[in-house]
Amino acid sequence: MRDLHDVVRGPDGKSAPHAFVALARDASKWLLKCSQELGYQQYVDLREQITDDVAHRTICTDRNDVDTAAKWFETQQTRLQDCEPGLPL
């Protein structure tokens, strides 16, 4: 996930729409699947990082695949919040 983050936020982010799609779809699915294996803070940090990176998609204008993946990600927000492991301190 860190590599995707680096691509999205790096100088080549604009030419890498596939990284936005992978973050929005695959990284969020992975996070949901691994939620109970991660500690609370690590889970929240990763969820927030994915959310911020997906919001950064505006640099990829006129890309339907990026917009579709971002909209799908938005529908998963409640689910991602519901899967937070443990109790916050």
Distance CA 84, CA 74 (A): 16
The more confidently predicted of residues 80 and 14 is 80
For residues 1 and 10, give the distance between their C-alpha atoms in angstroms, rounded to a whole number.
Answer: 14
Is a pLDDT exceeding 80 seen at residue 87?
no
pLDDT of residue 49: 92
The conformation of residue 28, written as its DSSP 8-state character, comes to: H
CA 82 to mean position of chain CA atoms: 16
Closest CA relative to residue 4, chosen from 51, 45, 53: 53
Alpha carbon distance, N-terminus to C-terminus of the chain:
26
**pTM reported for the whole predicted model:** 0.82
Q: Which two tokens stand for residue 41?
A: 């803070």
